[in-house]
Chain A
Amino acid sequence: DAGVTQSPTHLIKTRGQHVTLRCSPISGHKSVSWYQQVLGQGPQFIFQYYEKEERGRGNFPDRFSARQFPNYSSELNVNALLLGDSALYLCASSLGPTNTGELFFGEGSRLTVL
């Protein structure tokens, strides 16, 4: 069974540009979360979607947006990129409203902003 898949795996952008990152959850999982991991830090929560609705948002500016599609895949969009947006962006999927909240992470998309 395929795990969480993310694309692209690596990308380089320049300041001011826009980026779209994509995620496909584990089959049967209806919830997708996005985390940002800056080098040397733990992951920081950005968004969580369940059944195509936003269920949680972390402390990130409005330049960050996301959506979830009918097939439960998701996109994370970041506008007007800043140098500080350079990070590993992790997508995680879960079954849905389960109390255990287990998250299964993809390998991440490594974004470098020059």
Chain B
Amino acid sequence: GEDVEQSLFLSVREGDSSVINCTYTDSSSTYLYWYKQEPGAGLQLLTYIFSNMDMKQDQRLTVLLNKKDKHLSLRIADTQTGDSAIYFCAEKAGAGSYQLTFGKGTKLSVIP
């Protein structure tokens, strides 16, 4: 079955880089996503990557995908206190599926 795993907590100092990791099991995954959730709020789509890509960069965000190992990472450069939130990795199966499978989320704490 489908499963997405993430480490639960990450703490970094302001100005450092953060790297949040995710592994998934569904080899038919077509797209993988990173969402951000701030306390009491819904989910905000940060970025996504197609499964035939290995890297995508968007301003301070860099997504790396190792399809062979089914490993996805999100790097946030120059982490700010406003980046403190829960980050969810999610995968979408093949064409025709709209169901996203989410991990449990990684809580990022940024120390001033």
Contacts and interface: CB of A to CB of B under 8 A. Distances in A.
A107 B38 CA distance: 10
Contacts of A43: 43, 88, 100, 102
- Give the interface residue-count category, chain B: 20 to 34
Interface string B27-68: 000110101000001111100101000000000000000000
Interface stretch (B13-21, B72-80, B90-98): B90-98
A20 to B, nearest CB: 19
Nearest to A98: B98
Given A42-B4, A90-B43, A107-B42, A101 B101 contact: no
With a 10 A CB-CB cut-off, give which of B45, B98, B103 has the most chain A CB atoms. Answer: B98
Given A41-B104, A42-B103, A107 B98 contact: no
Contacts of A92: 43
Contacts of B30: 99, 101
Chain B at the A interface: SS class: strand
Interface string A70-88: 0000000000000000000
A103 B42 contact: no
A89 to B, nearest CB: 10
6 contacts: A31-B98, A33-B98, A42-B102, A45-B101, A101-B30, A101-B97
Interface of A: 4, 31, 33, 40-45, 48, 50, 55-56, 58, 90, 92, 94, 97, 99-108
- A-B complex: 3 closest residue pairs judged by Cβ atoms: A42-B102, A105-B42, A105-B43
